[in-house]
Chains A and B, each alone.
Chain A
Amino acid sequence: MCGLCGVLGGPRHWADAAARPGVYTQHGDEFERRRERRARIAGLGAALRPVGLKVDDWQGTAYLLADRTGASVLVDDLAQLWAAADRLGTRPCDPLDPAWIEALESASLAGGDGRS
């Protein structure tokens, strides 16, 4: 908590909704936020699949990241998620790795990336 203004918690991750003046908020509406959450889980699933990981929503507030052996970890936001993926994955998740790019391109062409 900020001792000076009494704001609880740290500022949200930039990719999440943030109710501050002038700050972009994707969805203030609860229903839309849930829909976006599902889309994010699907997108993350596609990004993590090439390194042997999967992700699920955890009560709308966190992400449950797991490897193929069942080892799992809870993370709060996308910044924590990628750091956890480095520890759990079969290799670092690198968006500039040609194999990672090809995997996403193939999944998209096959319609198999779980996009909602």
Chain B
Amino acid sequence: MAGPEFTPVNLITGFLGAGKTTLLQRLLRQPALHDTAVLVNEFGQIGLDHVLLERIDATTVLLPSGCLCCTIQGELADALRSLHERRAQSRLPWFRRVVVETTGLADPFPLVATLHADPVLRHHFQLGQVLTVVDALFGAGQLDRHEPSVKQAAVADQLVVSKASLAGPQATAALVARLRGLNPQAPLHDAETDVMDAEALLCRGVFDAAGSPKAVQRSWPDERAPLDETGSGRYLGSRLPARHDPRVQAFSIVRAGPLDWTRFAIWLTLFVHRHGARLLRFKAILNVAGSATPVALHGVQHLVHAPVHLADWPDDERVSTLVFIVTGLDAATVERSLNACLR
């Protein structure tokens, strides 16, 4: 029996004061998000963000008990279950997606784990887009001092830079360069000058967004290096130049020819089992032997989401592209290991 479709749970994350609520407020005004349930998590005794959203209704839920990542994962699970039950019983307007605004202190990984660990949620919900807002004024300092902000940037499917005009072009360009180093594959938006299209940011799948050439190729002032060497930006782009942050490395592996799914699954399950703690984000578009269309796969740390078929290849090139964002793993060794397993 085929189960019901999954409801995507999108995360809006970013450090304290980065502008998450402002962004969410702006996105929720757009018609594309009319069928969206919102969960707001606040760290503090009195929750205010849900008031600022000006959207108090049955599909807006405040999670007031503390930081989502460490104290109230149970509350998140309860809130999602409640939304699901009430939707199933038609006691709520139908919603197609959930947006969770996390506290600025939240480590995004436990939130993702909650979706997988809960015996009810994992049948009905799956991780959607992760939007990370980074403050151009204070973002660099936060990346220096606060580990959660590094993880928030590394795990993002979309990065949004806020307050660029306050920070000035030089500081913004420096921050953008750092963000590219941490997460070269995520489309990067300027909250002040770019159209924050809710449909593009929160209503599409992870790979649809990654495949948006316009978003991927956006150039920033004084940015020295392009996102990828070819500038194609299609799906996951081509081989990424390896760039190094002291704590985070991003690299890609590109393989020509059809890939043996059985062998690949053995390798990836072992890799994730042994090194999942160091795998901040993983995305792949694969040319699987026997499959006419590309197979997309993504994961966070030890969690790998069910692979899905994409509708078609973007062009005639049938290559498998795997993007890794890791801490403390050697790109060449990872590639050699994968090759050894696929030989």
B46 at the interface (CB under 8 A from A): no
Q: Which residues of B contact A108 (CB under 8 A)?
A: 340, 343
CA distance A90 to B207 in the complex (A): 40
Q: Which residues of B contact A96 (CB under 8 A)?
A: 271, 274-275, 329-330, 333-334, 337
Query: Which of A2, A15, A82, A104 has the most chain B CB atoms inside 10 A of its CB?
Result: A15
Q: Which residues of A contact B120 (CB under 8 A)?
A: 2-4
Chain B: minimal CB distance from A101 (Å) = 5
Chain A: minimal CB distance from B252 (Å) = 17
Q: Interface size (A, Cβ < 8 Å)?
A: 40
Beyond A7-B123, A101-B336, is A95–B306 a contact (Cβ under 8 Å)? no
Q: Which residues of A contact B308 (CB under 8 A)?
A: 22-24
Please tell me which one of the listed residues A7, A11, A20, A104 contacts residue B341 in the complex, with CB atoms under 8 A apart. Answer: A104
Asked whether, in the complex, the Cβ of B122 is within 8 Å of the Cβ of A10, the reply is yes
Beyond A4-B85, A40-B262, A96-B333, is A20–B2 a contact (Cβ under 8 Å)? yes
CA distance A24 to B291 in the complex (A): 10
Q: Which residues of A contact B271 (CB under 8 A)?
A: 95-96
B267 at the interface (CB under 8 A from A): yes
Q: Could you say which interface size class chain B belongs to?
A: 35 or more
List A residues 84-113 near B (Cβ within 8 Å).
92-96, 98, 100-101, 104-105, 108
Q: Which residues of A contact B5 (CB under 8 A)?
A: 21-22
Beyond A39-B262, A43-B263, A96-B334, is A82–B273 a contact (Cβ under 8 Å)? yes
CA distance A24 to B290 in the complex (A): 12
Instruction: Give 26 CB contacts A-B under 8 Å.
Output: A2-B119, A2-B123, A5-B123, A11-B123, A14-B305, A15-B266, A21-B5, A22-B5, A23-B306, A24-B295, A24-B306, A26-B290, A39-B260, A39-B263, A40-B265, A40-B266, A43-B262, A47-B267, A78-B266, A78-B269, A95-B267, A96-B274, A96-B329, A101-B333, A104-B341, A108-B340
Known: A14-B297, A23-B307, A82-B274. 9 other contacts (CB 8 A): A2-B124, A5-B4, A5-B123, A15-B269, A24-B307, A24-B309, A47-B266, A95-B271, A96-B337
B contact residues vs A (CB 8 Å cutoff): 1-6, 81, 84-85, 88, 119-120, 122-124, 260-263, 265-271, 273-275, 288, 290-291, 295, 297, 304-309, 329-330, 333-334, 336-337, 340-341, 343
A contact residues vs B (CB 8 Å cutoff): 2-5, 7, 10-11, 13-15, 18-24, 26, 36, 39-40, 43-44, 47, 78-79, 81-83, 92-96, 98, 100-101, 104-105, 108
